[in-house]
Structure 1
């Protein structure tokens, strides 16, 4: 079962605010991203970016490293 509500509030790739219309699903969870460029990066290696999310599912800018 997939939950369509994004679990994050900031883009796990860039740390910017998300666009709730740009999403990807990984391990049954929906993640929102800020732009299509970040969506492509996320889809190439979702585990890399999911691991940057804090335990409550919200990514924090200070945790994002480009």
Structure 2
């Protein structure tokens, strides 16, 4: 199982089964819910780095 961390809420998500993801600066980010993806897309620099 490949687990990723949702950068917004820090929840573990399975990269193979998660349906909510986005690309930013050549990296793929995975999310537990649409709200986390929306928050990330509105201000990605707050969650990256």
Which structure is larger by alpha-carbon Rg, 1 or 2?
A: 1
Deviation at 1:50, TM superposition (A): 1.3
Gaps spanning 5+ residues in structure 2: where?
A: none
Give the TM-score, by structure 2 length: 0.75
Gaps spanning 5+ residues in structure 1: where?
A: 1-7, 52-66
**Do structure 1's residue 14 and structure 2's residue 19 form an aligned pair?**
no
Number of residue pairs matched by the alignment: 44
Give the TM-score, by structure 1 length: 0.58
Detail structure 1 runs of 4+ shifted over 2 Å in the superposition: none
The structure with more strand, counted as a fraction of residues: 2
